[in-house]
Amino acid sequence: MPAFFLELFSEEIPARMQARAAEDLARLVGEALAALQPSGVETFYGPRRLALSAEIAGGVAESRISERGPRASAPEQALAGFLRKHNATKDMLTQEGEFWVLDRVVPGASAADLIAAAIPALIRKFPWPKSMRWGGTSRLTWVRPLRRITCILDGAVVPFDLREGDDDGHGLVSSNQSEGHRFMSPGAFTVMSAEQWRAELRQRHVIVDAAERRKMIEDGVKALAAERQCSIVDDPGLLDEVSGLVEWPVPLLGRIDDAYMDLPAEVMQVSMRVNQRYFALRKPDGTAAPYFAFAANIEATDGGAAIIAGNERVLRARFSDARHFWDLDRTRTLESRVEALDAITFHAKLGSQGERVKRIVALAGHIAPHVGADIHRAQRAALLAKADLTTGMVGEFPELQGVIGGYYARHDGEDATVAAAVTDHYAPKGLGDDVPTAPVSMAVALADKLDTLAQFFAIGEKPSGSGDPFALRRAALGVIRIIRENRLRLHLAPVLVAAGLPDATELMEFLAERLRVQLRTEGARHDVLAAVLAQGIDDDFTRLLARTDAITTLLTTEDGTNLLAAAKRASNILRIEEKKDGPHDGNVVSGLLTKPEEKSLAECLDVVAPAVRDAIVHEEFGQAMTALASLRAPLDAFFADVTVNDADPELRLNRLRLLARLRSTMNLVADFSKIDG
């Protein structure tokens, strides 16, 4: 199959847009050239280029198609629209029955012709998040000025240009020319194939594979850090970004001026990351090291000495700004800043941050006894938790919310548990974050998240589809993780009422659904959780999960597997028969139990039902499962030897009631009909 290669060469593409752009290119080319059946598609992206290689068919053969048009009796406008759509005339139509039919020959086309026809439109309509115009009068837009289009098929140029009507498309035409590194290997070279393009660019100081650039940077900065007996602070996002900023990564290490080493490590790391894309280093004891790593985009003749010196000079200026905020902020206490929160709007319908803090203080006091926290300390931490929003440091680096508040609380002499809670109350922010474990921190973190959830649900601002502008799913997951990982015994419904949500039903359903999604993500039996929730939401998630785990354990046994199958069989029988003359929830008449197997099942249920009920009340879920498992043998015998739908209507009704009793006994634990298997 012919080899197709396309490269779009431009000025520097923002790193955050590159990976998605490569995905879009593969998708759009696949759609535009679908008739050529592209295979082996491979994409490349970097600071100045977006490229794709694939194997495609040599062309498409001539074909004949038949399309049915409007009815012969349809208005002339309908017929005219059909003809216009297919660029046809009426004499090309034939009437078949009540309809007009267009038979036409679709001529074959070479791959080169199809490419030349499809790619210009693809380029003009490329879905960049943000595009720009540049120079001249062309209406063509691109993420940054587009400079070259390399398009070849088996080494030969596929000729086309970007003109559209009176728009000259900046005079851009396809060619077989590309360029290497802007400074180290300037100038054009001829492209003959994708493999030759990759090899030639490597010689011209460009690594086209993003994963390879990333690994070069990661390995390089780690090696430089190891030489100083240090380690790099893990930051995958920064690594991805930096690999999108350089074409020829050259890892280098600079030194931080000793005058700034007393700044908080988080302040230094965020300043380096946000402003300069530097990697922070840590000593073996976890404290900040006086070094920073970065990736240059050029091999300097002096080994990088001048580049390092320039970056050290820039960093001193950045840290000088951070020092200014650090010293100025600490001239006031956090407590003195609380009043200023009244002037910061949280949400138009929910008032100010000051009003929000008052709610969180009250809610933290409500939660504290349930998590083993001191009420006064929990409320003190809640009072101070948002005060750092008024500081210069957080104004400069919003990522430091909470962290800076914790430092300032310690500086003010606040209790250590209070300061820790101020730091931790936003946690966990993401899946990889640790959850708060100290009682005061848990109380404030839960109060913060539950207030957010309750207040937004109260005003009808709920997540819908993929939209979640107030990050309520993240807040819900944070609540769930804090409860799960600390095994908290907390009844959420009354807490949500205390948070200002009189009817917490909908929010409890939302939280339960997020719990189910989390279990599914972990690969756990989320269907078992759904079966338990079908019997009603337990607002004590630790107890809810204990019941779920016990059922999951039962289902791993032979008794559990057979019991589930029998329960589903009983449920299916009842579902069908209750449509006829149900429900069948009446008392079982012992005198109508004529067969030993149905008598045995009834007697077993007499023992199992109260045992399960008692075990559930005392949260002995393992015992409840053991009791249910004892039903396996009599159930097997019942279904082997008893005909439920007996010809005698009294026997049939009594046996259906017996199955209904079985169902209600098992429903004490969960709705087993909703469990997979």
DSSP per position, 606-628? HHHHHHHHHHHHTT-HHHHHHHH
- C-alpha 198/C-alpha 5 separation (Å) is 11
Pull the structure tokens for residue 275: 């402003």
More confident of the two residues 20 and 676: 20
Can you tell me the distance from the alpha carbon of 634 to that of 114, in angstroms, rounded to the nearest whole number? 71
Among residues 46, 12, 5, 25, the alpha carbon closest in space to that of 205 is found at 46
The whole-chain average pLDDT of the chain stands at 94
Co-location of 345 and 449 in the same domain:
yes
Q: What is the 3-state secondary structure (H, E, C) of 378-403?
A: HHHHHHHCCHHHHCHHHHHCHHHCCH
Tokens of 356: 């929000």
Q: Return d(Cα 225, Cα 292) in angstroms, integer.
A: 9
pLDDT for 258 equals 95
Quick one: 532 and 581 in the same domain? Answer: no
Query: Are residues 657 and 579 part of one domain?
Result: yes
Domain end point (choices 329, 358, 374): 329
The reply to whether 570 and 600 lie within a common domain is yes
Locate all alpha helices (DSSP H) within 33-143, ordered by sequence. 76-85, 111-124
Other beta carbons less than 10 A from residue 56's beta carbon: 23
What whole-number distance in Å separates Cα of residue 627 and Cα of residue 413?
57
Angle at 284 between CA 279 and CA 290, to 5 degrees: 45
> Looking at the 3D structure of the chain, how many domains does it have?
5
The model's pLDDT over 511-539, given as tens digits with 9 standing for 90+, comes to 999 999 999 998 888 899 999 999 889 99
Interatomic CA distance for residues 245 and 669, integer angstroms: 56
Distance between CA atoms of 519 and 513, rounded to whole angstroms?
A: 10
Rounded Cα distance between 283 and 356, Å, is: 40
**Domain shared by 179 and 312, yes or no:** no
pLDDT of residue 43: 98
pLDDT at residue 354, as a whole number: 97
Domain membership of residue 422 (yes or no) is yes
Is residue 547 assigned to a domain? no
User: What gap in Å lies between CA 64 and CA 108, rounded to an integer?
Assistant: 10
Contact 164, 127 (CB under 8 A): no
Whether 217 maps to a domain, the answer reads yes
Strand partners, 5: 53, 152
491 and 400 both lie in a single domain:
yes
Short-list 9, 62, 4, 64, CA closest to 33: 4
The answer to whether residue 34 sits within a structural domain is: yes
The C-alpha atoms of residue 208 and residue 198 are separated, in whole angstroms, by: 7
Confidence of residue 349 (pLDDT cuts 50, 70, 90): very high
Do 217 and 348 belong to one domain? no
Query: Within this chain, do residues 568 and 581 fall inside the same structural domain, yes or no?
Result: yes
In the Cβ-directed half-sphere of 586, how many Cα atoms lie within 13 Å? 13
> Under 8 Å CB-to-CB from 241, ≥6 apart: which residues?
15, 16, 277
Together in a domain, 491 and 617: no
pLDDT digits (tens, 9 = 90+) for 625-647: 999 999 999 999 999 999 999 99
pLDDT band for position 198 (50/70/90)?
very high
pLDDT of 306 over the 90 cut: yes
User: ω before 583 within 30° of 0 (cis)?
Assistant: yes
Q: Which residues contact 176 (CB under 8 A, 6 or more apart)?
A: 150, 152, 155, 157, 190, 191, 192
Average confidence (pLDDT) over 373-395: 98
pLDDT of residue 572: 92
* Percent of the residues in the chain that have a pLDDT greater than 70, as a whole number: 100
307-331 tens-digit pLDDT: 999 999 999 999 999 999 999 999 9
User: Crossing angle of helices 375-384/439-458, nearest 10°?
Assistant: 60
AA identity, residue 62: E
Residue 546: inside a domain, yes or no? no
In the structure, what pLDDT confidence band is assigned to residue 598 with cuts at 50, 70 and 90?
A: very high
CATH number at residue 651: 1.10.730.10
Q: What is the pLDDT of residues 38-78, one digit of tens each?
A: 999 999 999 999 999 999 999 887 777 788 888 888 888 88
CA atoms within 13 A on the CB side of 7: 29
- Find the CATH number of the domain harbouring 502: 1.10.3210
The answer as to whether 416 is a domain residue is: yes
Task: Determine contact, residues 553/625, Cβ cutoff 8 Å.
Answer: yes
* pLDDT at 432 > cutoff 90: no
Angle of helix 526-533 relative to helix 541-555, nearest 10 degrees?
120
CA contacts within 13 A on the Cβ side of 549: 11
pLDDT of residue 404: 97
List of long-range contacts for 645-652, beta carbons under 8 Å, 24+ apart = 645/577, 650/592, 651/592, 651/594
Residue 215 and residue 171 share a domain: no
Domain with 265, as residue range(s), is 210-329
pLDDT for 105 equals 72
**Could you say which of 489, 512, 539 is where a domain stops?**
539
Q: 635: which DSSP letter?
A: H
Q: What 3-state DSSP class applies to 42?
A: strand
292 and 429 in a single domain? The answer is no
What does the pLDDT read at residue 65?
A: 75
- What does the alpha-carbon distance between residue 461 and residue 58 come to, in Å, rounded to a whole number? 54
Please classify residue 272 by burial: count the beta carbons closer than 10 Å to its beta carbon, then call 0-12 exposed, 13-18 middle and 19+ buried: buried
Is 46 within 8 Å of 240 (Cβ atoms)? no
Flag whether 548 is in a domain: no
CA dihedral sign of residues 614, 619, 623, 627: positive
- How much is the average pLDDT of 285-306? 96
Q: What confidence tier does 486 reach under pLDDT thresholds 50, 70, 90? A: very high
Mean local confidence (pLDDT), 474-491: 96
Q: State the Cα–Cα distance between residues 623 and 525, nearest whole angstrom.
A: 20
Question: What percentage of the chain exceeds 90 in pLDDT?
Answer: 86
151 located within any domain: yes
Average pLDDT of the segment spanning 577-585: 89
Across the strands, what pairs with 293?
253, 279
Task: Write down the H helix ranges in 502-648.
Answer: 505-522, 526-533, 541-555, 558-581, 596-617, 621-629, 632-641
Residue that terminates a domain, selected from 142, 177, 203:
203
Neighbours of 209 (CB within 10 A): 16
CA atoms within 13 A on the CB side of 588: 19
For residues 618 and 593, membership in a common domain is answered with yes
Report CA torsion sign: 580, 581, 587, 592.
Answer: negative
